[in-house]
Structures are given as C-alpha cells and as structure tokens.
Amino acid sequence: MDLRTRVNEAVKQAMKDKAPERLSTLRLINAAIKDRDIAVRADGNETGVDEAEVLSILGKMVKQRRESARTYEEGGRLDLAERELAEIEVIEEFLPKALSDDEVQKAVDAAVTEVGADSIRDMGRVMGALKTKYAGQMDFGAVGKLVKDRLASGA
C-alpha cells in the first residue's frame, strides 16, 4: 500500500476513533502532499509527486516540528512543545525506520564508491545518490558532514 493510501486510511480510522489531535496531524500531512502535487502539476507533471517526494515531505515536516518543539521548550511553552512532539510521532508512523549510525556510515561508503567520488567536488553527486535511496531514513544535514569528512580524507 502506498503512502497516500496509508495516510488516507489513517484519516478514516482517526475519524472513527474520534481522535482529534491525530486527525489534525493527518490532515496536515494530506495538505502538504496536495500542495506539492499542485506545484508539480503546474510544472507539467500530471501524475503528481512520487513516493520518494512524499517521504521527503514527511521528513521536512518532522524536522520543522523538532525545531518548533526546541524553540517552544526554550521559551518555556512546554504545552506547545509536547503538541509538536505528538505530531512528530504521528508523522513518523509513515516514515521508514531510521538507519543506525553504523548503517548510515555504510550507506555513505557505498554511495561514495557507487558514484566514484574522489574529492569534495563530488559531494553533490554522493548526496543525490543517498537522497534517492534513503529518503526519510536519515538526517541529511548530519549526513552531509559525514560525506564531507569522508571526501576530504581522500575517499
């Protein structure tokens, strides 16, 4: 079952369960996917976004909520921070399992080998390969540093 279908089924279930917080988050997910669909269709792609793009959207939503939760905690608004963290839990249900640190390192090594990267100039190609294969499974901000360090040390 694709992600869109899973989200739509979860929306229906949340309505049946009378779970307003969960339903709200699921509707936000649907809205984000539909917004991206509209943008892609305006560019001439009639099929809308694919699974990888949906995973990317979900990953961005999680990242935004983590940043918001951190800001709320620093501002002493723990109630709002808890709400953001609850939304993260709902969104993460649709993301694949995050890779461990060892798995991330192996993925970086494999991507460097796969694209034949031998200098820091190849970082974009390595990151592109990782984003294609591991969308939603790793934090690409942190992985960027790993790739940079790996390429700087001479691959």
Instruction: Report the predicted TM-score, pTM, of the whole model to 2 decimal places.
Output: 0.73
H-only helix segments in 93-122: 101-115
What is the percentage of the chain residues whose pLDDT exceeds 70? 98
Q: What is the mean pLDDT of residues 124-153?
A: 83
Which are the contacts of 46, defined by CB distance < 8 A and separation ≥ 6?
none
83 has pLDDT over 90: yes
Q: Which of 38-47, 58-67, 114-123, 140-149 is most confident?
A: 58-67
* Two structure tokens written together for 154: 């001479």
Task: Give the pLDDT confidence score for residue 154 in this predicted structure.
Answer: 64
- CA–chain centroid gap for 135, Å, is 6
Half-sphere exposure (Cβ direction) of 17: Cα atoms closer than 13 Å: 12
Whole-angstrom Cα Rg for the chain:
18
40-78 pLDDT, tens digit per residue, is 888 877 777 888 888 888 988 998 999 999 999 999 999
> What structural domains does the chain harbor?
3-92 (1.10.1510.10), 101-152 (1.10.10.410)
Read off the DSSP letter of residue 47.
Answer: T
1 pLDDT higher than 70: no
